[in-house]
Amino acid sequence: MGIKISAQNINFFYGPHQALFDNSLDIEENKITAVIGPSGCGKSTHLRIYNRIYELYHDQRAEGKLLIDGKNILEKDVDLLKLRRKVGMIFQKPTPFPMSIFDNVAYPLKLHFNLSKKEISERVEEALRGVSIWDEVKDKLKKSGLALSGGQQQRLCIARTIAARPEILLMDEPTSAIDPIATLKIEDLLLKLKERFTIVIVTHNMQQAARISDNTAFFYKGKIIESGSTKKIFTNPENKKTEEYITGRFG
Ligand SMILES: Nc1ncnc2c1ncn2[C@@H]1O[C@H](COP(=O)(O)OP(=O)(O)OP(=O)(O)O)[C@@H](O)[C@H]1O
Ligand SMILES: [Mg+2]
């Protein structure tokens, strides 16, 4: 299987404060990679490099190479709009727009693509089916997205992201704000979505990482201590810190 993303010797700075040290990590295509580690170890910071979203803040900077499909996206001439279309991001708290369920998914399509009304409707349905929520919402597409449950809202946000047909899905603790049943639904969904996307998910839930991910990267104090197949990391880690973390001795 191919390597979709390759971080090579990445250092990251918030102003004078260095948050990531020499991060190197390969992300396999059409797999789920779990990013784990204690609070403040740099998981979100690392993910935010993949779509250069940190550049919205002028004092934040990354050094090193971040290859996506072999191309270094940290170079100056990169088209950020294109990059962010290719690399979709889903956050911890579901963030539906204050508009209808339909428009939540249609809005970015109207904004970024030149599509007919019919094409937009088709893509909205395809995306809502893709996140297994179509049957739940098809009769109330004009109702507000904010009127859905937390788990449904998160699936709606995933639908909004995949409607734009990205290749990579970054998810920063996407299930930490929703209940266990809704969490299992989203986990099932991710297993289905990995056929179409490369998925990177930050999680504090070790069971979740073990259940759904193919590969795992363990972060500690801004460094990637260990990465590789989830099976290996969870059953036979090489580093003592990794073992202590996954067995819950700190966190
Ligand atoms: N906007 C910011 N300005 C300055 N420092 C920051 C900023 N955001 C994060 N940091 C620092 O960078 C380091 C890594 O933070 P990051 O948010 O990436 O950790 P994390 O692993 O995602 O933690 P959590 O599990 O709590 O979400 C921390 O020391 C944090 O204090
Ligand atoms: Mg975080």
Q: Is 178 left (phi over 0), alpha (psi -120 to 50) or beta?
A: beta
Distance of CA 167 to the CA centre of its chain: 11
Of the candidates 193, 222, 198, the one whose C-alpha atom is nearest the C-alpha of residue 6 is 198
> Which of 13, 23, 35, 45 to mutate to test ligand 1, by most ligand atoms within 8 A of the CB atom?
45
Q: Which atom of ligand 1 is nearest to the CA of 14?
A: 4
Decide: 6 and 27 in contact? Cβ < 8 Å: yes
Cβ of 41 less than 6 Å from ligand 1? yes
- Residue 173: pLDDT band (50, 70, 90) is very high
Q: Hey, what are 81's tokens?
A: 């709009």
Q: What's residue 228's pLDDT?
A: 98
Of the candidates 226, 230, 206, the one whose C-alpha atom is nearest the C-alpha of residue 216 is 230
Of the candidates 104, 108, 95, the one whose C-alpha atom is nearest the C-alpha of residue 137 is 104
Q: Which atom of ligand 1 is nearest to the CA of 15?
A: 4
pLDDT, one tens digit per residue, over 121-163 is: 999 999 999 998 999 999 999 999 999 999 999 999 999 999 9
Please report which residue ranges of 7-76 form alpha helices under DSSP H: 43-47
Mean confidence (pLDDT) of the chain: 95
Residue position matching structure tokens 């036979």: 236
